[in-house]
Amino acid sequence: MPCFVPFKNNLDFTFFVLRSVGVLDDEIIDSMKCFSFQAEDLGCVYSSVMKSIHGNLIVWYGAWIKRSEEDRHILNEALLSAMEDLSHLAVLIQHGFYSVYAGESKDGQPNARFSTGDTILLCGMVPASDDSSDLSSACMTILRSSFNNVKESTAGVCFQCHNKPLVAMLHVWKSLQACYSWLIKADYRRTIRPYISSFSNEAQFDVFKVIFVSSDDVLNCEISQSKLVIGSRTGKGKVQLD
């Protein structure tokens, strides 16, 4: 079964971006797989682990049952506490809760789908002002024009961050070669970047390979006291949310 990003605004989404501090990424990836397994008890319905193709970034994606702002804050604190247990393996450089405000798929389905081994292009943009509406509109235009006309891109999603001025885009590609081919032909720095530069102070993108999705077999994930346990720092075990 693939991982899903529904286009309807009926779920909350999280992205945790980590930079590995070691030469080998196996331990941090295994820990994030266990993190996905534990997150299910807190209401996470879909999750995935992605690794940068050329860099040392690891991204954990989670889709959550919607909750009140207060409960979302409690959940966020629990997740951040668990991430602190990984400080010897990776540095947390970005995180947040998001909502979807636009999405397109080539097969007409109301979601983006990806599985282990797929290629993902992620882009994060900081608006030039506290009002991110112009940047959000620009990203939606890019989604519905440039990417929608490229047959090798199977789906795209635009996200708005809840707790900070930040807009993100996620695009699923049929292959790594197809993604690279589009990046070269589209000439991102000459075409797309100038289009959003007046609305954004900073735009960063990277290409990732999907290493794991929550529907994969996780029965071999052994969770011990030496590994992260969500909510363990509170001394109350797992966090319970309504």
Report DSSP letters for 132-199, one per residue.
-HHHHHHHHHHIIIIITT-TTEEEEEEEEESSSS-EEEEEEES-HHHHHHHHHHHTTTTTHHHHHHTT
The rounded distance, in Å, linking the Cα atoms of 238 and 241 is: 10
Closest CA to 228 of 30, 20, 96: 30
Q: Which amino acid would we find at residue 57?
A: L
Confidence at residue 105, expressed as pLDDT on a 0 to 100 scale: 93
Q: Are 184 and 23 in contact (CB under 8 A)?
A: no
**Which has more pLDDT, 198 or 81?**
81
241 C-beta neighbours (distance < 10 Å), count: 17
Whether the pLDDT of residue 240 is over 90: the answer is: no
- 74 three-class SS: helix
Q: Which residue has the tokens 């540095």?
A: 91
Confidence at residue 223, expressed as pLDDT on a 0 to 100 scale: 43
Q: Are 140 and 102 in contact (CB under 8 A)?
A: yes
- 47 three-class SS: strand
Whether the pLDDT of residue 149 is over 60: the answer is: yes
Q: Assess if CATH 3.20.20.70 describes domain 11-234.
A: no
Q: Which amino acid would we find at residue 139?
A: C
Confidence at residue 77, expressed as pLDDT on a 0 to 100 scale: 93
- Domain ranges within the chain, ordered by starting residue: 11-234
Give per-residue pLDDT as tens, 15-50: 999 998 876 678 888 899 989 988 998 899 999 999
Whether the pLDDT of residue 115 is over 70: the answer is: yes
Q: Which residue has the tokens 């077999």?
A: 217
Phi then psi dihedrals of residue 207, to 5 deg: -105, 130
Confidence at residue 15, expressed as pLDDT on a 0 to 100 scale: 96
Over residues 87-109, mean pLDDT: 92
Please state the pTM of the whole predicted model. 0.87
185 C-beta neighbours (distance < 10 Å), count: 10
Q: Are 228 and 33 in contact (CB under 8 A)?
A: no
Give per-residue pLDDT as tens, 183-237: 888 776 677 777 787 788 778 889 999 999 998 865 455 543 334 556 543 333 3
